């Protein structure tokens, strides 16, 4: 059984291996590797000692959400790479229920867990973690959210408008955030309030 699983994985990796060509000719290799390392750290602990290329193939096989992130990075490169990526997406399907706008500016280490029914239209810092059923985007014509570094947006949360989410913020499950959030806070509720600041429990309005 183990041998059969290994054989199936090898075949699946071989099937997605043409995507490595796009990786090699892309100008975004460093950012892609940063994303890969983040995903390995969280999801594929046994991959920590494997080469980057092996981990890329494993993630492309096992996580369609990773394909969305991978394609997003490729689209940030040259117009030629973008055109080839459009073709690749026809053969190697990404998650259709995860929308990641190409106009976003996203730092290294983006991790999307499940990504089911999630829409992202924001400028995002480093090492951010976004869960399923999340909406991040415009509330009106004034602008979209900006997320700092090490931000986590939990299941079912909504972040809307021209607001800033500070570094090291956790947005609790099913929360609605429509105002700026200072760094080092946990927020939750509808509308969201600060429930923890610098590790201390509080109850503060935004």
Domain count, the chain: 2
Range of the domain at 11: 1-96
pTM of the predicted protein model:
0.92
Q: Compute the average pLDDT of residues 43-59.
A: 78
Last residue of a domain, one of 34, 69, 96: 96
Distance CA 144, CA 151 (A): 16
**Strands 176-177, 158-160: parallel, antiparallel or unpaired by DSSP?**
parallel
* Claim to verify: residue 123 and residue 110 sit in the same structural domain: yes
* Claim to verify: residue 104 and residue 201 sit in the same structural domain: yes
pLDDT number for residue 46: 58
> Residue 96, Cβ neighbours under 10 Å: how many?
8
47 pLDDT more than 70: no
Last residue of a domain, one of 37, 64, 96: 96
Site of tokens 């089911």: 116
What tens digit of pLDDT does each residue of 105-162 get? 999 999 999 989 999 999 999 999 999 999 999 998 899 999 999 999 999 999 999 9
> Residue 152, Cβ neighbours under 10 Å: how many?
20
* Claim to verify: residue 85 and residue 112 sit in the same structural domain: no
- The CATH number of the domain holding residue 101 is 2.160.10.10
Distance CA 32, CA 35 (A): 5
* Claim to verify: residue 9 and residue 88 sit in the same structural domain: yes
Distances, alpha carbon 12 to alpha carbons 19, 57, 58, 92, in Å: 12, 9, 9, 11
Local confidence band at 191 (pLDDT 50, 70, 90 cut-offs) = very high
50 pLDDT more than 90: no
């Amino acid at each position: 059984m183990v041998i059969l699983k290994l054989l199936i994985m090898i075949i699946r990796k071989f099937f997605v291996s043409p995507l490595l060509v796009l990786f090699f000719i892309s100008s975004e290799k460093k950012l892609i590797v940063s994303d890969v390392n983040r995903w390995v750290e969280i999801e594929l602990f046994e991959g920590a000692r494997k080469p980057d290329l092996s981990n890329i193939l494993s993630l492309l096989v096992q996580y369609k959400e990773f394909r969305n992130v991978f394609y997003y990075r490729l689209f940030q490169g040259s117009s030629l790479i973008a055109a080839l990526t459009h073709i690749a997406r026809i053969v190697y399907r990404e998650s259709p229920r995860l929308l990641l706008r190409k106009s976003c500016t996203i730092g290294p280490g983006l991790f999307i867990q499940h990504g089911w029914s999630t829409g992202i239209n924001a400028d995002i810092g480093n090492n951010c973690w976004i869960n399923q059923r999340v909406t991040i985007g415009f509330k009106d014509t004034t602008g979209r959210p900006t997320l700092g570094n090490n931000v986590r947006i939990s299941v079912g949360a909504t972040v809307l408008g021209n607001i800033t989410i500070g570094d090291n913020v956790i947005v609790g499950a099913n929360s609605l955030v429509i105002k700026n959030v200072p760094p080092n806070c946990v927020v939750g509720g509808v509308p969201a309030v600060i429930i923890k600041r610098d590790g201390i429990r509080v109850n503060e309005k935004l």
